[in-house]
Structure 1
C-alpha cells in the first residue's frame, strides 16, 4: 500500500499515529523477527529474519510444492527477554511455536512462516505458499540471523501491451489434455477473467495464480465510455468444465472471477505478441559461468545480491558503482542492469533512466535488452497525476510539485489481528467457579512504514499487543516490542535509529529504548555508537531510567574470504553503580559446505568471562550434516543487578527491588560481591547429525550434555548446589506424506536425564493444505516423567488441532483447540485432571 502525503503536516502526523497504535497494540514474535521480500537477477528472494542465531540443516518440499519443511538449529542468545524462548525446561524442551504471515502475490505467493522448535535437537521451520512454487533454493545468511528462500522467476517476453515484463512462477497443476495451439483451438475457447481495473496490471503485486504449463496469464486493454480498462485473464480452456475447475482454485484470491470466452484475435495476441509458441515452457535465468573470474569480483557480486535482497538499495548503488569501475568481466552486464534497478527502487528515477539507456547502448540485442527496454518504457510512460489547467504549477521543491511529491511517497504495510483465548481446568482440586484459568481478547499490531528518495531512506516500525482479560480478578496487559524510526542519509553514509529496538553484535543484552548512530566507513566497515535504557521485558511499556548504557561497536564484512567479524565495548550502570562493563566480539564463517559462529563477551569490571559460544556445522558430499555446539556462560548473565536475587527488607520482609534500596544495607563493594555470589556458571555441549535419505525423508539425531555450577551462601541467601551432568537425547524424522497425502510430517522421540527426573516424549505433527485457502495442522504429544526425588510419575497426552482459512488475499481466520490430559501418581494416590484450551481469531494483512 502506498500513501502520498501532500504536506509537511502529514509527515509529522505519521509518527503520532504510530504512537497511538501502541495503546491498542498476540505477544510479539520472539524467535521470528520479520520477513522482507527482495529480488536478484532471475529470482525473487524471501528473507526471513530471526531474533536468535539459526542455522540451516536440510529441507524438503511436499508433493504439491506448497509446503516447505526446513530443519534448523537454534543457537543461544544473550537477550534476556528472549530467554524464555531459548532456554530449556527441566525436561530439555523448548515449548515454542512462533509464526509470521505475509500477503501473497503472484510473484511471491508466500502465505506463512511457522517455527516449531526445541533447543534439544533440530527445530522445524514450515514455509507455506498460497500457490505452487518451483525449485526453491535456500541460502543461509552470513550473520546466521537471516535465511533466504530463492524462488526462480519464469521469464516470458513482454506482451506488447505497454506493461512491465511479466514474471510468473513455474507451477504444477494437472495438465490439460494436450498443448494448446491457436490453430487447434475450437471456435469457442474459455478463459477466466480474474479482475478488471483502471490501471495497468502490476504482476509483481497481484495475488497468486496457479498457472499450468499449458496456460497463460495475460492482460487486455479496452475502453468503457472513453476510459481505459485493463482485464487480467487466465487461459485457455477447451471446455467450460475445465474452466470451472480452475475457477475454484483461484476463488480465495479472486472472489469476483468469472468464466468468459476469448475470440481468435485475443488468443493470437496472447500467444504471438508475447513471442511464445503454444505450450512452450518459460526459461529460467542461468547463472553466469564462474570460470576464470577474480574471486574478489565474485565476492562483491554476492554481497551486492544480498544487499539488494535486504532492500538496502542505497548501499547496493555504491557497491555496483565500485564493481563497474573494474575491468569488464562476466558480471559487468548484470551489474549495469542491477544499478539501474537499484536506482529505480531507491527513488532515483532520472538516474535509473540514464543507467538503462547506457545498458541499451552497450547491449542492444537479446532478451536481457528487451527486459531493460521494458523497464525504461515503464519509467518513461508511467501515468502522471492529472493536472488542473487553471492551477498554477508549483515551483520545484514547493509542496505539490512533482519533485516534492516523489520524495513524499510512503510504503505502508503490516498486519492487525485479534483473537479470543480460553483455558479450562477439570480437576478435583479446582472448584467450578475457578475452572476457567484464562479468558481474554488479544489485539496485535505490526505497523511498518518506509520512505525512500535520493537523499534519505527512512523506516518506522511499531509492534505490540494489548490483552483484555475477561476474568473478574484478571488484569489487562500491554506489550511493546518495537517502536522506532530509522533514518539513513545516503550521501554522507550516516544513519540514526531512535526508539525501542534491538542491536545485535553490540554487547547490548536485550532490547532498549535509545539511540543508535551509524557511519559506513567503507562498504565493508560499519561503525555504530549507541546509548539508551535497557528494556528487560516487552511488557515494560514505559521508560525505566534506573539502568543506562552506552557503547560502541563495529561490523567488518569480508575481512578474509567468507569471514566476517564484529567488535564491541559497552558499559551499563544501575542506580549509579557499574552493572556491567564488557568487551567482546563475534567471528563468522560461511560457505555452502561449512559454517562457524563464535561469540566472546568478557566483563572487564567484574573480571569474569560472561559468554563463550562456538557453533560449527559441516555438510559432507553425501549431504550428511554434522554439527558441534559449545556454550559457556554465567547464569544469569553477570550483572551487578544479580545481587537483588533473594534479598528482602529485614524489617518488612518485603522483597528489595532496586540497587538503590539495597545500598541502605550493603556497601557498594559488598553489592558487587553479592552479584558474583548469585551468578552460577553453566556449560553445555551438543553434537548432532542429519541425513536426507531421499527427497521425501530426512532423519536427524542429537545429543546434549549440560551442567550448572553451585552458588555460595551470602547476604542471607542460601547456597545452591551444582547440578549433576544432565543428558538429553533426540531423534527426529521429517517426511512427506507422513499422515496424509500431500503433508509434511514431523515425528520426534526425546529422552532427558535431568537432575530431578527422567522424561520420555513422543510427538507427531503434520501440516498440509486441504485447498489453496485452507490448511490444517494436527499434532499429538505423549510424555512420561519419573521423578528421582520420590516415586512420583506423570503421564501426559496432548492432542491439538490448528486450522487456517484465508477468506481473501488479506484476510485470514485462525482456529485452534486442544486438550492436555494428565495422570499423576505420587506413590500414594493417582490423580487425573484435564486442561482444555480454545483459540479463535482473525488477521488482516495490509
Structure 2
C-alpha cells in the first residue's frame, strides 16, 4: 500500500499500542509474503511476492475485470504439496487503492485439489496484460493498462467468434543501427533504400551529454552473426552501421511505432522515452579488470559520500562497460544523483532502469527508491528544502482484521455440538525510514486467537513475522534480523535469526544465515535448535539464467540434525520457464528433495505446465526420530535408544519418500471461456515399525484428474464462473467430485460468491459409499475505500451407506468480520 509519512506520532502510537493490547491473531502467512506496486511515472504494475516458489497454471478473466482469479500450484514451505491441502488457511494481504492502481486486496485460498487460487481484487474494473512469474518463481507480476489506453483499444465486434490475438513481439534481440543524427529521420525515404519486407524499420531517441539524438534502426535478428551478415548489403547507403542488442522495451516500441504509421492518417509515431545515459558502442569498451577497479572505486566513493565522483564513474561504466556492469551502474548512478539532491535526474534514471530491466531482481529495490522520490516530491515545498543530514520521518502502513468463526456439528445421533467458537484477528504493520546511509524497514504480522470454548483448541498468540531490515545506500550490503521466512539457500520456512547479504560483484551475491527453526507461528524462540548456512547467488546470465548454490548445517540438543548441500537453476524467457532445485543430505548421504517446475506457452495461447516433485516427507532431519515419542529432547531419546547411530536409524524409519508427477494444460476457447486440465500421479513409500511406533504402509500409485471450465464476464462485466470435475483414485477410496464456483459483482460495493461441491466416495477399507453436499455463500461489502465487511455461511450434509445401515451427518458454520487498512 502507499506509505504515508508518520506526521502525528502521538495518535499513531496510541493506535498501535491499542492494537497490540487487543487480542489479535493472524492466519499463518506461509505463502503470501508481500505486495509492491510500481511508482508513479512507470508502467502501472502489481507485484505479489510469495515466500516459496509457485507455478502459474491459468488466470481469468483473460485481460480485464474487477477481480483476477489466478490458479497456482505451490510446493509449500516444507516442499510438500500436502501442507497446502491440509492447512486450508486463507491468507489476505491488503493495499490502499489509488486512481492509477486501484488494487485493494490479494487473497490466497488453498484448494482440495492440491492447487490454490489467488484472488487479486481492484476497486474498479481494470485492463491488464503480461501476467507472469519472475525468474525465481516467487513473484507474480501484472501489468495494468492505463485507463486512457484501455479506452482507445479497439473492442471486438459482436460477430467475432474469438478475440484477435495481441500481436506478439518479433523474435530476436539484435538490430542494425543504420545511422544516428540530431535531426529526425524520414522513415518512408529510408524504406525506399533498403528491403524491409522481413524486418522492421524504426527510429528511437536518446539523449547523450544533453543532446537529443535520433537513431534509425533495422530489426530484428536472432543473433549478432545474422545481423552482421546483412551489413555488406547496406554499406552503400549506411557505411557506419553497427550491430546492437536491445531490451524488450525497444522491441515493443518498434512494433507500436509500425502500427501507428499503418493506421489511417497515422504519421506521428509514439514518443519513445529519452534516456539520460546509454551504452555507447561508438566508444571503445573497457577491459574487464578496468571495469572491476572502476566499480570498486565508485562503490567506495558512494559509501564515503563523494557522490559526484561516484556519478562520474557509474556514467562511464554504463556507457562503456559490459551489459551486466552497466545494469548495476545504472541503478547506483540513480542513487548517486538522488544523494546529490538531483531528484529529477535520479527519477529519470530509475525509470530507465525499470524500462530496460523490468523483471530483474533489482527492479523491486529500484521501484521502492523511485516511490520514495515521488512521495518526497509530493510533500509541502517547505520540506523539500530540508538540509542534508536532517532526519527523515518514519512511514507507517498496514492493516487489521477481526473475524468471528463458529462451527456446529450435528451427527446422526442428533446431539448438536459446537466444535469451534473463536475470535480471529489479524494485524500487519510495516514501518520504513530512508536515511542518508541506511534504509530501515520493520515488519510485524501476528496476534492472538481467542477461543470461547472450554474444550476447544485454546487461545493462543501467534507471530508470523517480526524483523528489521537494514540496507546500505549503495545496495552492496543488507541485513535482516528477527522472525522471517525463507525458501531458498537450504532454508525451507520460518526461522528466528539473521540473514546477511553482500553483493561483491554485479552477478555474484553472497548470503549468510544463522538462526533457529520455527515449526509454528505460535512457538517461541527454540533455544535447543540452531542452524547456519551460506549460499551464493549467481546471475543473470544470457538474460535468462540464474543459479544458487548453498551449504547448511543444523544441530538440535547438541546432536547433528541436518547437513546438506544443494542449489537451484532458473530459466526464464517470454515463452517458457524452468525452475529446478536439489537438496542432498551429506550426513545421511541421501537425496532429500528434487523438484522441477516448467511452463511452456504455445502460439494459440495454450499453456503446458509440468511438475516433478521427489522428496523425503517430512524433510529428513534427525529430529524426525521424535515422532510418536513422549520426550521432545533429542539427547534424551538418544540415550534411551542406545546412541546416535540408533537415533539416526529411527529418524530414517519415520521418514517416507514421496513422488509427485503432474502434467497440465490450459487452453482458451474464446473471449469468455477457457478449459484447464491436469493429471497427477503420486506415491509414498512405507515407514518402518521401530522404537514403539507403528509403521505406515506404502500408498502405491495414486491418481488425480482435474478438469475445469472457466468463464468470465458471462452475465455482467467482471463476473467469474467455474465448473469443475475431479476424480481421485487412492489406496483408501475412489472419489468423484463436482464443483461450481461463481463470483458476481452486484455493484461496486457488494459482491457475492456462491460455491457448491458434490462428492461421491467409494471407500475401499470398509466397503461403504458416501454422498456429500457442501454449499457455501460469501458476501462482501466495501463500506469505504479502506474498510470491508465479510459474511460467509456454509453447510455440509453427508450420507454414508454401509451393508446394513446408513448414517447421516451434517455440519454448519459461519464467519463474520471486517478488514481495514491504515
Q: Deviations over 1:448-503 (max 9, x none)?
A: 11111331111110001311111233321221100000101124721111100012
Distance 2:373 2:138 in 1: 36
* Gapped regions of structure 1 (runs ≥ 5): 156-167, 175-282, 298-313, 360-374, 388-395, 648-654
Partner secondary structure for residue 133 of structure 1: strand
Distance 1:753 1:379 in 2: 59
CA contact (8 A) 2:61 2:713 kept: no
Shift of 1:383: 2.5
When residues 492 and 560 of structure 1 are mapped into structure 2, their CA distance, relative to the original with a 3 A threshold, is closer
Give the corresponding residue for 1:808.
784
1:821-832 equivalent positions in 2, closer than 5 A: 821-832=797-808
Distance 2:145 2:379 in 1: 27
CA contact (8 A) 1:752 1:759 kept: yes
Q: Deviations over 1:155-191 (max 9, x none)?
A: 8xxxxxxxxxxxx98599x9xxxxxxxxxxxxxxxxx
Distance 2:421 2:15 in 1: 33
Worse-superposed segment, 592-601 or 131-140 = 131-140
1:197-236 equivalent positions in 2, closer than 5 A: none
Give the corresponding residue for 1:112.
105
- Say which of 597, 607, 624 aligns to 1:615: 597
CA contact (8 A) 1:59 1:68 kept: yes
When residues 471 and 719 of structure 1 are mapped into structure 2, their CA distance, relative to the original with a 3 A threshold, is closer
Shift of 1:634: 0.9
Distance 2:52 2:373 in 1: 41
CA contact (8 A) 1:135 1:151 kept: yes
Q: Provide TM-score, normalisation by structure 1.
A: 0.70
Partner secondary structure for residue 38 of structure 2: strand
Shift of 1:381: 9.4
Distance 2:90 2:658 in 1: 26
Distance 2:465 2:22 in 1: 9
Partner secondary structure for residue 612 of structure 2: strand
Give the corresponding residue for 2:78.
79
Give the corresponding residue for 2:341.
350
1:735-774 equivalent positions in 2, closer than 5 A: 735-737=711-713, 742-774=718-750
Give the corresponding residue for 2:526.
544
CA contact (8 A) 1:99 1:112 kept: yes
Shift of 1:695: 2.6
Give the corresponding residue for 1:2.
4
CA contact (8 A) 1:739 1:766 kept: no
Give the corresponding residue for 2:473.
490
Shift of 1:421: 0.9
Distance 2:725 2:663 in 1: 16
Partner secondary structure for residue 819 of structure 1: strand
Distance 1:774 1:320 in 2: 56
Shift of 1:549: 0.6
Q: Provide TM-score, normalisation by structure 2.
A: 0.72
- Say which of 577, 588, 593 aligns to 1:595: 577
Give the corresponding residue for 1:429.
413
Distance 2:765 2:38 in 1: 55
Shift of 1:684: 1.7
CA contact (8 A) 1:136 1:150 kept: yes
Distance 1:323 1:750 in 2: 58
CA contact (8 A) 1:5 1:409 kept: yes
Shift of 1:355: 5.0
Give the corresponding residue for 2:610.
628
Shift of 1:143: 0.6
- Say which of 370, 380, 383 aligns to 2:380: 383
Distance 1:437 1:725 in 2: 35
When residues 767 and 607 of structure 1 are mapped into structure 2, their CA distance, relative to the original with a 3 A threshold, is same
CA contact (8 A) 1:804 1:814 kept: yes
CA contact (8 A) 2:52 2:487 kept: no
When residues 122 and 479 of structure 1 are mapped into structure 2, their CA distance, relative to the original with a 3 A threshold, is closer
1:478-517 equivalent positions in 2, closer than 5 A: 478-491=461-474, 493-517=476-500
Partner secondary structure for residue 592 of structure 1: coil
Worse-superposed segment, 519-528 or 443-452 = 519-528
Worse-superposed segment, 40-49 or 607-616 = 40-49
- Say which of 636, 651, 662 aligns to 1:686: 662
Give the corresponding residue for 1:100.
93
CA contact (8 A) 1:133 1:171 kept: no
* Gapped regions of structure 2 (runs ≥ 5): 156-268, 286-301, 351-371
Give the corresponding residue for 2:424.
442
When residues 135 and 627 of structure 1 are mapped into structure 2, their CA distance, relative to the original with a 3 A threshold, is closer
Distance 1:721 1:25 in 2: 38
Distance 1:358 1:46 in 2: 21
When residues 761 and 620 of structure 1 are mapped into structure 2, their CA distance, relative to the original with a 3 A threshold, is same
CA contact (8 A) 2:565 2:585 kept: yes
Shift of 1:352: 1.9
Give the corresponding residue for 1:261.
none
Partner secondary structure for residue 44 of structure 2: strand
When residues 748 and 77 of structure 1 are mapped into structure 2, their CA distance, relative to the original with a 3 A threshold, is same
Give the corresponding residue for 2:68.
68
Shift of 1:378: 10
Distance 1:766 1:287 in 2: 43
- Say which of 589, 606, 619 aligns to 1:637: 619
CA contact (8 A) 1:701 1:730 kept: yes
Shift of 1:601: 0.3
Q: Deviations over 1:427-451 (max 9, x none)?
A: 243634xx11111111110111111
- Say which of 122, 128, 133 aligns to 1:140: 133
Give the corresponding residue for 1:658.
633
CA contact (8 A) 2:36 2:48 kept: yes
CA contact (8 A) 2:332 2:474 kept: no
Distance 1:99 1:592 in 2: 29
Worse-superposed segment, 376-385 or 112-121 = 376-385
CA contact (8 A) 2:582 2:594 kept: yes
Distance 1:449 1:171 in 2: 40
Give the corresponding residue for 1:789.
765
CA contact (8 A) 1:767 1:777 kept: yes
Distance 1:662 1:694 in 2: 62
When residues 574 and 64 of structure 1 are mapped into structure 2, their CA distance, relative to the original with a 3 A threshold, is closer
Q: Deviations over 1:517-560 (max 9, x none)?
A: 111112322211111111011121x2121111111112112134
1:25-36 equivalent positions in 2, closer than 5 A: 25-36=25-36
Shift of 1:30: 2.9
Q: Deviations over 1:776-819 (max 9, x none)?
A: 11111111111011221221111111111111111111111111
Partner secondary structure for residue 623 of structure 2: helix
1:317-328 equivalent positions in 2, closer than 5 A: 325-327=317-319
Give the corresponding residue for 2:512.
529
Shift of 1:46: 0.7
Shift of 1:70: 2.7
Shift of 1:323: 7.5
Q: Deviations over 1:647-698 (max 9, x none)?
A: 3xxxxxxx22221331331211110111112111111211111111123111
Give the corresponding residue for 1:417.
401
Distance 2:814 2:537 in 1: 46
CA contact (8 A) 1:65 1:133 kept: yes
**2:605 is the counterpart of 1:606:** no
RMSD: 4.2
Shift of 1:402: 4.3
Aligned length: 657
Shift of 1:417: 0.9
1:556-567 equivalent positions in 2, closer than 5 A: 556-567=538-549
When residues 678 and 337 of structure 1 are mapped into structure 2, their CA distance, relative to the original with a 3 A threshold, is closer
CA contact (8 A) 2:280 2:320 kept: no
Shift of 1:132: 2.4
Q: Which has the higher contact order (CA 8 A, sep 6+)?
A: 1
- Say which of 682, 691, 709 aligns to 1:733: 709
CA contact (8 A) 2:638 2:646 kept: no
Shift of 1:589: 0.5
Distance 1:105 1:486 in 2: 27
